Amino acid sequence: MIRPGTQVVRLGQRGKGQVVGIDGDTCAVLWRNGPKRESHPQTELAWIGLAIHTRDGRAGRVVELGRNTAVCVRLADGRRAWMQAEELAPREQSEQ
């Protein structure tokens, strides 16, 4: 769940932004790479630190997004890797 104050990234847009408001499923984001404020559906945003796993099972966290569909991920072993968005999936929470 994205909350106000959360740092986010968006596929296809370079740089990071900060959520400054939420209205239903839409977030108002203030982007750092220029003083512009835009509204985006929550489904287009990923928050910095979002826990993910690659399709081949490696765990990691979102660090930043690049142009097009490239995602920079810090893997569990500490390495950073650029991957395509199709290679990632949100981590499932385990049932206890």
Pick the CATH number of 7-47 from 3.30.2320, 2.30.30, 3.30.420, 2.40.70: 2.30.30
Report how far residue 88's alpha carbon sits from residue 60's, in angstroms, rounded to the nearest whole number.
Answer: 10
pLDDT of res. 20? 92
Q: Where are the domains of the chain?
A: 7-47, 51-90
pLDDT digits (tens, 9 = 90+) for 56-91: 788 888 887 776 667 888 988 899 988 887 777 655
Look up residue 33 and give its two tokens: 């790479």
Q: How many CB atoms lie within 10 A of CB 67?
A: 9
- Non-local (6+) Cβ contacts of 84 within 8 A are 69, 70, 71
Residue 8, judged by CB atoms within 10 A of its CB (0-12, 13-18, 19+), counts as: buried
Look up the pTM and report it: 0.63
Q: How many CB atoms lie within 10 A of CB 53?
A: 18
Q: Look at residue 90 in the predicted model and tell me its pLDDT.
A: 58
